[in-house]
């Protein structure tokens, strides 16, 4: 078996190398590339995607898997090798089922859809985007039809982001959340109060923000030997491998959101950075799913980054850097302001409570779109109605409503739910790790983050993509996803008694 296993590892190592390159090119495009380079870049990315796809669907891979599977069946099913073969088979079968012409059509529709979306957004009118969205829906159906063994079309879409998750599991989970969160938002939030409690009034110089962000990052574990921080328009984490982690943020002069965005991306980066070295250069060397990835980003952003112990440590240092704007705001007022619950129009600026309502709305609409139960012409109206029902606010126009997110413009559906799954799992993991780290609050307040990082590395990150998301979560918290810890956390934090 040795020769086949070596050949398999070499082939997968090359795919992994090429994907690292794709990660670097994406980062470069969003941070460094001169604008006119877009045309050259489009060609390069297209060629790289074809090279990767050819390797992912190489018939040699099937022959190697055929030869190795009987051997793998006799190994410890939890061994790295057995898992590598399991996931490689799964990835291969998914990749070969999509005909090349459909893949090419989806790629083309993505570019056209984003173009139509940008125009529609600029015109503040959903109509010019409708045809592109209809085409995406048609292509999604053709994509779904490539697969068998799923109970529901939406399960096929979910599987790309959260392998194994089904709508049958998700519906009751999201219904529980919706029923608990609507009254929680009504009790804790007030759409008419000023944002951030009106705390941030001054100017926050971009360079001073960068220094403040790095001060926080280096304290929590950003090591310039393996990490970079750069500005961009829409923050993300990417990079060239487990020792080349690149996070990005965005500096707005009117607030300090860059701090929280950076903590968020730090959570993503740390997950990738702490995958076990043995899994490097292979398909298991990344976070297991978007949901668990988001559990890490949201944990660092919210459970660490919006906690009182954290700001006991960092607020004096922040105040010093922004003496003008923050001089008159004490720690308690600052803490309240960055934890304010306030229904608002735009998902990416939402607080940790109302955020989930934005997701639930999109999840419900995606099901109706895929199920053909909503006419696309009525989508803006459906959006606006739910915004009123769930958050009590009126949507003034399409740009602040149905057109706000990029996801649908590229044909991506089934992605949104992972954001809320991340929120929910982040608190399950947090409760579990506090059992092992009884002095976590004091450690955070002293700026000691190594115990937290190491716990996450040991219990979650090192596994990479070795287990299913469900198995991975069970290894960390001992059971399946559940909403109770998350709802308890929100109620406690915002002083709302259980209904």
Considering the complex, what minimum distance in angstroms separates the CB of residue 235 from a second copy?
17
CA 361-351-476 angle, to 5 degrees, is 85
Asked if 265 is an active-site residue, the reply is yes
For residue 258, the number of C-alpha atoms closer than 13 Å in the C-beta half-sphere is 29
58 binds a second copy (CB under 8 A): no
Give the range of 39-47, 64-72, 146-154, 379-387 binding a second copy by CB under 8 A: 39-47
How many beta carbons lie within 10 A of that of residue 65, not counting itself? 18
Cβ neighbors of 176 (< 8 A, separation 6 or more) are 483
Contact 273, 217 (CB under 8 A): no
Considering the complex, what minimum distance in angstroms separates the CB of residue 55 from a second copy?
9
Q: Which of residues 155-174 bind a second copy (CB under 8 A)?
A: none
304 binds a second copy (CB under 8 A): no
Considering the complex, what minimum distance in angstroms separates the CB of residue 27 from a second copy?
9
300 binds a second copy (CB under 8 A): no
13 binds a second copy (CB under 8 A): yes
457 binds a second copy (CB under 8 A): no
Tokens coding 72: 């793998």
28 binds a second copy (CB under 8 A): yes
Q: Which of residues 106-165 bind a second copy (CB under 8 A)?
A: none
44 binds a second copy (CB under 8 A): yes
- Could you say which of 5, 17, 112, 333 contacts a second copy (CB under 8 A)? 17
46 binds a second copy (CB under 8 A): yes
104 binds a second copy (CB under 8 A): no
Nearest residue to 169 via CA among 369, 499, 424, 465:
424
Considering the complex, what minimum distance in angstroms separates the CB of residue 281 from a second copy?
6
Nearest residue to 476 via CA among 433, 434, 437, 418:
433
Considering the complex, what minimum distance in angstroms separates the CB of residue 180 from a second copy?
43
445 binds a second copy (CB under 8 A): no
Tokens coding 254: 């009117």
- Could you say which of 8, 12, 20, 456 contacts a second copy (CB under 8 A)? 20
Burial class (CB in 10 A: 0-12, 13-18, 19+), 478: exposed
Q: In whole angstroms, what is the distance from residue 29 CA to residue 20 CA?
A: 14
Give the residue with the Cβ less far from a second copy, 3 or 36. 36
Contact 1, 68 (CB under 8 A): yes
Contact 242, 461 (CB under 8 A): no
Q: Which of residues 217-256 bind a second copy (CB under 8 A)?
A: 224-228, 239-245
Task: Build a one-symbol-per-residue string for 263-282: x at contacts with a second copy by CB under 8 A, - elsewhere.
Answer: -----------------xx-
Give the residue with the Cβ less far from a second copy, 47 or 201. 47
Tokens coding 41: 């870049």
- Could you say which of 1, 4, 5, 14 contacts a second copy (CB under 8 A)? 14
Give the range of 41-49, 185-193, 468-476, 483-491 binding a second copy by CB under 8 A: 41-49
Nearest residue to 339 via CA among 294, 303, 296, 293:
303
Catalytic residue (one of 69, 74, 218, 265):
265
Give the range of 16-24, 69-77, 188-196, 432-440 binding a second copy by CB under 8 A: 16-24
- Could you say which of 9, 41, 400, 407 contacts a second copy (CB under 8 A)? 41
Q: In whole angstroms, what is the distance from residue 88 CA to residue 94 CA?
A: 10
Tokens coding 155: 């399960």
Q: In whole angstroms, what is the distance from residue 13 CA to residue 63 CA?
A: 17
Query: Angle of helix 417-436 relative to helix 450-459, nearest 10 degrees?
Result: 110
| 406 three-state secondary structure | coil
DSSP state, residue 202: S
21 binds a second copy (CB under 8 A): yes
Considering the complex, what minimum distance in angstroms separates the CB of residue 28 from a second copy?
6
286 binds a second copy (CB under 8 A): no
How many beta carbons lie within 10 A of that of residue 182, not counting itself? 16
Give the residue with the Cβ less far from a second copy, 51 or 208. 51
Length of the chain: 499
Number of H helices, E strands in the chain: 21, 3
Give the residue with the Cβ less far from a second copy, 242 or 393. 242
Tokens coding 171: 């519906």
Considering the complex, what minimum distance in angstroms separates the CB of residue 38 from a second copy?
8
Binding region for a second copy (CB under 8 A):
13-14, 17-18, 20-21, 24-25, 28, 32-37, 39-41, 43-44, 46-48, 50-51, 224-228, 239-245, 280-281
Catalytic residues: 265
């Amino acid at each position: 078996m040795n020769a086949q296993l070596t050949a398999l590892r070499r082939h997968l190592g090359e795919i992994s190398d090429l994907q690292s390159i794709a990660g670097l090119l994406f980062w470069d495009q969003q941070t460094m590339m001169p604008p006119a380079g877009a045309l050259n870049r489009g060609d390069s990315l297209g060629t790289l995607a074809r090279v990767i796809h050819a390797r992912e669907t190489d018939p040699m891979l099937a022959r190697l898997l055929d030869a190795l599977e009987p051997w793998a069946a006799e190994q410890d099913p939890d061994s790295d090798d057995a898992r590598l073969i399991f996931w490689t088979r799964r990835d291969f079968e998914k990749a070969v089922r999509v005909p090349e012409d459909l893949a090419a059509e989806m790629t083309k529709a993505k570019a056209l859809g984003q173009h139509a979306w940008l125009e529609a957004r600029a015109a503040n009118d959903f109509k010019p985007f409708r045809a592109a969205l209809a085409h995406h829906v048609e292509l999604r159906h053709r994509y779904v039809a490539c697969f068998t063994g799923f109970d529901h079309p939406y399960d096929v879409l979910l599987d790309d982001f959260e392998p194994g998750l089904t709508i049958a599991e998700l519906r009751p989970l999201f219904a529980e959340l919706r029923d608990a969160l609507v009254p929680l938002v009504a009790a804790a939030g007030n759409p008419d109060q000023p944002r951030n409690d009106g705390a941030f009034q001054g100017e926050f110089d971009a360079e001073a923000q960068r220094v403040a962000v790095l001060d926080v990052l280096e304290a929590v574990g950003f090591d310039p030997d393996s990490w970079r921080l750069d500005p961009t328009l829409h923050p993300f984490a990417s990079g060239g491998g487990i020792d080349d982690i690149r996070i990005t943020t965005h500096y707005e002069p009117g607030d300090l959101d860059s701090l929280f965005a950076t903590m968020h991306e730090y959570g993503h980066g740390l997950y990738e950075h702490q995958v076990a070295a043995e899994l490097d250069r292979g398909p298991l060397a990344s976070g297991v799913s978007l949901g668990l990835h988001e559990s890490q980003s949201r944990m660092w952003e919210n459970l660490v980054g919006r906690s009182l112990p954290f700001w006991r440590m960092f607020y004096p240092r922040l105040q010093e850097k922004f003496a003008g704007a923050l001089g008159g705001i004490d720690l308690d007022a600052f803490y309240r302001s960055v934890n304010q619950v306030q229904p608002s129009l735009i998902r990416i600026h939402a607080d940790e409570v109302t955020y989930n309502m934005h997701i639930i709305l999109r999840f419900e609409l995606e099901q109706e779109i895929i199920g053909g139960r909503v006419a696309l012409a009525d989508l803006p109206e459906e959006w606006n109605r739910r915004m009123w029902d769930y958050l009590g606010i009126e949507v003034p126009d399409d740009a602040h409503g149905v057109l706000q997110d990029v996801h649908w413009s590229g044909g991506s559906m089934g992605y949104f739910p992972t954001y809320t799954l991340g929120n929910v799992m982040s608190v399950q993991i947090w409760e579990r790790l506090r059992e092992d780290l009884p002095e976590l609050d004091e450690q955070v307040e002293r700026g000691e983050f190594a115990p937290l990082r190491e716990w996450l590395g040991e219990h979650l990150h090192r596994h990479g993509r070795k287990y299913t998301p469900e198995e991975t979560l069970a290894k960390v918290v001992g059971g399946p996803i559940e909403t109770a810890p998350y709802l308890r956390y929100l109620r406690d934090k915002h002083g709302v008694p259980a209904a």
